[in-house]
Amino acid sequence: MRMRTLSLTAALGLTALPAVADDTQLRELAKSAGLEPVPYGLAAVQDNPVTREKIDLGKMLFFDPRLSASGVISCNTCHNVGTGGDDNLPTSVGHGWQKGPRNSPTVLNAVFNKAQFWDGRAEDLKAQAKGPIQAGVEMANEPENVVVTLNSMPEYIERFGRAFPGEEDPVTFDNMAKAIEAFEVTLVTPNAPFDQWLEGNDGAMTDEQKAGLATFLDKGCASCHSGINFGGQGYFPFGLIEKPGAEILPPEDKGRYQVTKTASDEYVFRAAPLRNIAITAPYFHSGKIWDLEQAVAVMGTAQLGAKLSDEETTSIAIFLGALTGEQPIVEYPILPVETDSTPKPRL
């Protein structure tokens, strides 16, 4: 793709051709590169029929800090639905003020990812939901204690029964994860300017954003960042062409290698989804880069082997702003009341 002798922006004549012709050609190029809009409606998830009862229960659990040992940290602490679905920190702060090893990915549109976490160690959202609750550096709890906590509150017992009808013992750690997954399926951001444009509204993106899209395609960014989520579908070495410095790529974090123990997976990570990227700084698994244009420049050198000009990095960053969709409106739930048998916080 980078061997073209004429850039897409020039070939399309974005400043010279009639607007309709420009948009038509660019739209076809975007679609042929595998770029897709965020669909409306709930995505189906494997082995977990999504119902209103599960969604409502999952929302409670997502916001309930009592799933953590300290009673302080909830799923929303690190995946704040009010701040782009993440915590806007280099790495998250967990139990006992410990700092986690990696940047917290956004929960928004996570249902469209092939797998969860930077190294893809969780096959889906319900598997992901179990991880942080048990991680000592995050919520530091145990499945048995979580079940005791949930069973100590009559409203949770009632809601689990409605969400998982017919089960003899519906209050389980697995069902907790399924309910959280059902809620997270609703956390999508459709109707971004790019989506409106891709579906035929020529005026939904500015000329600058369209030029940025053409640069994005011309430089080969869509080779890794495609699909609904503009990423989240494949695994690639960070530093495919040229490794970034240790301040961006910490040598002790070998990425997917820690899951597969395969030498070729050293420093391999899941391609970061680019949806809502303009509101989810800082960037990369290390969370070391706060500026979007700087992040684009790093990716150009590390993944494409190209030193992008200032104009090109600015242009791509402007386009990426068109991937910010409608943020989900989530009403904070009133949580079930504790009882005398509810386990006390362990700080």
Active site residues: 138
Between CA 303 and CA 8 the distance in angstroms is 20
Query: How far, in Å, are 118, 140, 236, 284 from residue 89 at the CA level?
Result: 16, 20, 24, 11
Q: With helix as H, strand as E and coil as C, how does 329-344 read? A: CCCCCCCCCCCCCCCC
Place of tokens 């042929």: 32
User: How far, in Å, CA of 73 to CA of 287, rounded?
Assistant: 20
Instruction: Give the Cα separation of 29 and 220 in Å (integer).
Output: 12
List the Cα angle 190/196/199 in 5-degree steps: 110
For residue 218, the number of C-alpha atoms closer than 13 Å in the C-beta half-sphere is 21
Which two structure tokens, joined as six digits, stand for 119?
């190294």
- Residues facing residue 96 across a β-bridge: none
Q: What's the CA gap between 15 and 58, in Å, rounded?
A: 49
> In angstroms, rounded to a whole number, what is the distance separating the alpha carbons of residues 112 and 187?
11
Q: 282 preceded by cis ω (within 30°)?
A: yes
Beta bridge partners of 93: 99
What CA–CA distance (Å, rounded) separates 226 from 232? 8
CA 139 – CA 100 distance, rounded (Å): 11
Quote the tokens at residue 115: 């797998």
CA distance 47 to 92: 30
